[in-house]
Structure 1
Amino acid sequence: MTVHFSSRVDISAPNPIAAAEADARAHGVVLGKLNDSNPTRHGLAPAEVPGVYTAEPRGPRPAREALARYLSDAGDSAAGSAPVDPESLYLLSSTSEAYSWLIKLLCDAGDAVLAPKPGYPLIESIARLECVDTIEYQLRFDGSWFIDTAAIEQLLYSEQGERIRALVLINPNNPSGSYVKPEERATLVRLCAERGIAIIADEVFYDYSLEPFDGNARLAGETGVLTFALDGFSKMLAAPHAKVGWIRVSGPENDVIEAQRRLDVIADDYLPMSDIIADRLPELLAAAPAQVARVRERVRGNLAALHGMLEGDEHGLVDVLRAEGGWNILLRVPSVIDENELVLRLIESHGLTGQPGYFFDMTSNGYLAVSLLPEPDEFRRNIRAVLDTVAAMLG
């Protein structure tokens, strides 16, 4: 089935002047502009930000080429060793902005996207700002997390499924830490292709495997269905302040062409990528492998310390759910303890706050999300505070 695109993006035929300009560009003719209001073309750029600004909706070409080389060398996309095409990439300031663009691209007001639960509430908030609904699908836990693909299939073929335009997959999910399994992926790609639904694959935590199963792979480069893979420096470099994210578009050729026609319009309206940051992209990408390794060492070390503390705890009241990847884990506490009361007690007794499971729409009581990023001594103090508080509340 053909992918549905929103009616919000104007891709009508250009006026005669715009068509003539495009024809001139295609033949290598550089036209002067009577109305050129770009100050950098007229010697007015400040010395602090020199150069001539050229508005490229997908992001400056040299920056996209550098990113494409990096992703190609990483070789962990769905397309295997196939080089990443710079033209498949869109540079922007964050994955949050990417979600907003893609919802504009795919959804009219009143349409819906499928998003995982438990999950971070950001998607629902962004969708609401676009006047779009989110419909949740469940990740279920049975010793490890899995996607209820049968329930998704039932939903897609229901009356409600007629307004679903995209399936959001977080690979790995936050806070459950679960990767999309190969058999889940095959089923979901088939279902989305059958129903004309695009996949939005958020893979910002992909490189931070903790206790993974075999067979995990990025959805970036998926060819079986229109796929928008999101990533960025917020997690790759542990640098949310760098404000660099990207979209990689892949899928059946005709769907990709139609998607990019429309996405180019959105990108041209926003032009979010700063040349100042784009010029530093090769340098920042060169730092990425070492930075990923540094963060991975920290989170794996803290997870190992957590297992040791839980195994050695005399009360044995707290457990941790298997975390396949990411920066966060879910602690499980006795369900007789109210999650709000637990966090309030931590605030009162230890000066610590936290996010209980219901913040992420966990289906039952008794969970607490914990970051694996702190310095080891601080992390141990945090876990000790949780263990002591739980014991005191049940004492």
Structure 2
Amino acid sequence: MRFSSRVGSTKLNPIAKAEAEVRSQGIKLETVNDSNPTKHGLAPKEVPGVYTAQPRGPLAARTQLARFLMKRNAEELAAEHPYRNHGVQQNDDGSTAASISSDDDSNLCETAERRLQDRSAPVDPDRLYLLSSTSEAYTWLFKLMCDPGDIVLGPKPGYPLIESIGGLENVDTLEYQLRFDGSWFIDVAWLRELLESPKGRKVQAIVLINPNNPTGSYIKPDEREALVALCREHEIAIIADEVFFDYSLEPFEGNRRLAGEQGALTFALDGFSKLLAAPHAKVGWIQVSGPKDLVAEAQRRLDIIADDYLPFSDIIAEQMPELLEAVPGQLKRVQQRTSANLKRLHIMLDEDESGLVSVLRAEGGWNVLLRFPSVIDENALVLRLIHDFNLTGQPGYYFDMTENGYLAVSLLPEPAVFERNIKAVLAAVSCELECV
């Protein structure tokens, strides 16, 4: 696998080589130019303690996060029943052990065992990187994997963040198509054809958003198997954005996280912004997994990037236990709101006599896509909402929908506000249709 030439020279100067040799023998080196004021009794009383540069984030915070992730994995495994008679146990170290009864079909057993082993493996704190946001994580990973002009693949329809960050990093972004036939799916055949073409040699990573925004679609099990195989074959990395994973709405069976994937080099992104429904809680993380040799080389280079930025504050790290403890309650609270609003939306659309508006199946996330007659211009509909109802919205073309006639709607508002919004959309659609 080719990493960016921007990061990680393999050559050490004589001083760095000597330092590494001495430290490998367990000898601690002091430095005559130590400019860390907290080591010299100059720390302020408001921020006491001695600062120790840990580019991946403070080890204590990463250890707390690793325990949280292992507990979450164990709970998810215990709640799933895709295979007959399997049990999940949590070990003393927080990892999980899975077993499948011998009377299961042998092929089913083999597949299930492999998947369960991937998900029940301990989360290593040294495979975690703490940083301020998943947006920052994208910039790090683009630097890690891509030289200027290299390509990162991102989903279409999708949130335009990937293209924007790619532009800032001098990385080309190329959209791969999600298609809809009652549910969203990835055109894997198109991806395979691209990767086998001359242009495919410039592709360094693929972004898989699980579930995607605004389509709300999870990566299906068969898609996952095919995508991991393609990435392994063509030596490209997976960047798995899973910030909405916990917010299931109308999912299909078998969806699971890409975090911890061993079949290809994988960087899984998550953070408090979505887990706590708190965009101002700027804590994100990268979990690195995959073949050991690739992980080792990726982390060696990622450490250089992390060391250059040192983005994570000890002040924030001290709040990690409290924030992690708040996650389950916040998830439940938000899920109750989004599920109730989605249920109310279905009722309102069923009761609407005009029958002009429908909702695409939303497997997960906070948003849904409403579909209205394509003869109505999306801009005209939003302008109608602005002028007649003092509301605005994001039409489908904001997300590169391939056809006209879509509007993204949030499921987060309080019920009365949500119902008002839907009523306004229905009225605006009717008015616009009369004007066509």
The TM tier, using the shorter chain, reads over 0.9
Q: Once the 2 structures are TM-superposed, how far is the Cα of residue 169 of structure 1 from its aligned partner?
A: 0.3
Give distance in 2, aligned partners of 1:43 and 1:385. Answer: 63
Q: Could you tell me how far 1:24 is from its partner in structure 2?
A: 3.7
The equivalent of 1:348 in structure 2 is 387
User: How far does residue 306 in structure 1 lie from its aligned partner after superposition?
Assistant: 0.6
Residue deviations 1:104-129, cap 9 Å, x none? 00000111011000000000000111
Q: Deviations over 1:204-231 (max 9, x none)?
A: 0000000000000000000000000000
Between the aligned partners of 2:212 and 2:8, the Cα distance in structure 1 is 34
In 2, are the aligned partners of 1:113 and 1:134 still within 8 Å (CA)? yes
- Indicate the residue corresponding to 1:280 in structure 2: 319
Deviation at 1:288, TM superposition (A): 0.6
Distance 1:21 1:239 in 2: 43
| 1:83 partner amino acid | P
Partner of 1:140: 179
1:7 paired with 2:5, answer yes
Alignment correspondent of 2:111? none
Structure 1 residue 227 corresponds to structure 2 residue 227: no
1:161-190 Cα offsets, whole Å, 9 max, x none, are 010000110000000000000000000000
Shift of 1:240: 1.4
Q: Give the structure 1 partner of residue 405 of structure 2.
A: 366
Q: Which residue of 2 is the match for residue 84 of structure 1?
A: 123
What is the aligned partner in structure 1 of residue 342 from structure 2?
A: 303
Query: Using CA pairs below 8 Å that are at least 6 residues apart, which structure has the higher relative contact order?
Result: 1
Quick check: 1:113–1:168 contact (8 Å CA) kept in 2? yes
Distance in 2 of aligned mates of 1:10 and 1:145:
39
Displacement of 1:80 in angstroms is 1.8
Q: CA deviation at 1:52?
A: 1.0
| CA shift digits 1:18-57 (9 cap, x unpaired) | 2333344333333322111111111211111111111101
| 1:11–1:261 CA contact under 8 A, matched in 2 | no
Contact 1:225–1:251 (8 Å) recurs in 2: yes
Match of 2:175, SS state, is strand
The answer to whether 1:323 aligns with 2:369 is: no
Distance 1:261 1:139 in 2: 34
- Identity of matched residues, %: 69
Secondary structure (helix, strand or coil) at the match of 2:318 reads helix
Which amino acid is 1:60 matched to?
A: P
> Which secondary structure does the structure 2 equivalent of 1:80 belong to?
helix
* 1:160 is the counterpart of 2:158: no
Q: May I ask how many residue pairs the two structures share in their alignment?
A: 393
Does the Cα contact within 8 Å between 1:327 and 1:372 map onto a contact in 2?
yes
Q: Distance in 2 between the 1:393 and 1:359 partners?
A: 20
Q: CA deviation at 1:239?
A: 1.4
Residue 50 of structure 2 is aligned with which of 42, 49, 52? 52
| Cα drift, residue 266 of structure 1 | 0.6
Greater mean deviation of Cα atoms: 70-79 or 199-208? 70-79
The residue correspondences of 1:1-395 to structure 2 (distance < 5 A) are: 3-75=1-73, 76=76, 79-395=118-434
Question: For residues 298 and 244 of structure 1, what CA distance do their matches in structure 2 show?
Answer: 24
In structure 2, C-alpha distance between the alignment counterparts of 1:198 and 1:10, rounded to whole Å: 17
Tell me how far apart the structure 2 counterparts of residues 63 and 256 of structure 1 sit (CA, whole Å).
21
Contact 1:149–1:188 (8 Å) recurs in 2: yes
Q: Which one-letter code corresponds to 2:23 in the other structure?
A: R
Which digits, 9 at most, give the CA deviation of each residue in 1:293-317, with x for residues without a partner? 1111111111111111111111111
Indicate if the aligned counterparts of 2:356 and 2:429 stay in contact, CA closer than 8 A.
yes
TM-superposed deviation, 1:17 = 2.5
Query: In 2, Cα distance between the equivalents of 1:33 and 1:108?
Result: 35
Whole-Å separation in 1 of the counterparts to 2:10 and 2:298: 14
- Greater shift in the superposed pair: 256-265 or 15-24: 15-24
Moved over 4 A (4+): none
CA shift for structure 1 position 136 = 0.7
Query: Residue 31 of structure 1 aligns to which amino acid in structure 2?
Result: L
Unaligned 5+ runs, structure 1: none
Aligned partners of 1:266, 1:45: CA distance in 2, in Å? Answer: 26
Q: Name the aligned partner's letter for residue 25 of structure 2.
A: H
- Backbone CA RMSD of aligned residues: 1.1
d(CA) in 1 for partners of 2:136 and 2:53?
A: 18
1:353-382: per-residue Cα shift (whole Å, max 9, x none)?
Answer: 110000000000000001111111111111
Preserved CA contact (<8 Å) 1:172 1:206: yes
Give the Cα separation in 2 of the matches to 1:165 and 1:64.
28
Measure, in 2, the Cα distance between the counterparts of 1:393 and 1:128: 37
- Aligned to 1:294, the other structure's residue is in SS state helix
Q: Which residue of 1 aligns with 2:93?
A: none
DSSP 3-state at the match of 1:314 = coil
Residue 178 of structure 2 aligns to a residue whose secondary structure is strand
Question: What secondary structure does 2:319 align onto?
Answer: helix
Which secondary structure does the structure 2 equivalent of 1:330 belong to?
strand
Between the aligned partners of 1:100 and 1:258, the Cα distance in structure 2 is 18
In 1, the alpha carbon distance for the partners of 2:245 and 2:132 equals: 19
Distance, in Å, in 1 between the alignment partners of 2:376 and 2:43 is 61
Is the contact made by 2:380 and 2:432 (CA closer than 8 Å) also made in structure 1? no
Alignment partners' CA distance in 1, 2:322 and 2:300: 31
Aligned to 2:101: none
The CA distance in 1 between the partners of 2:8 and 2:260, in whole Å, is 27
Structure 2 gaps of 5+ residues are 78-114
* CA contact 1:178–1:323 (8 Å) conserved in 2: yes
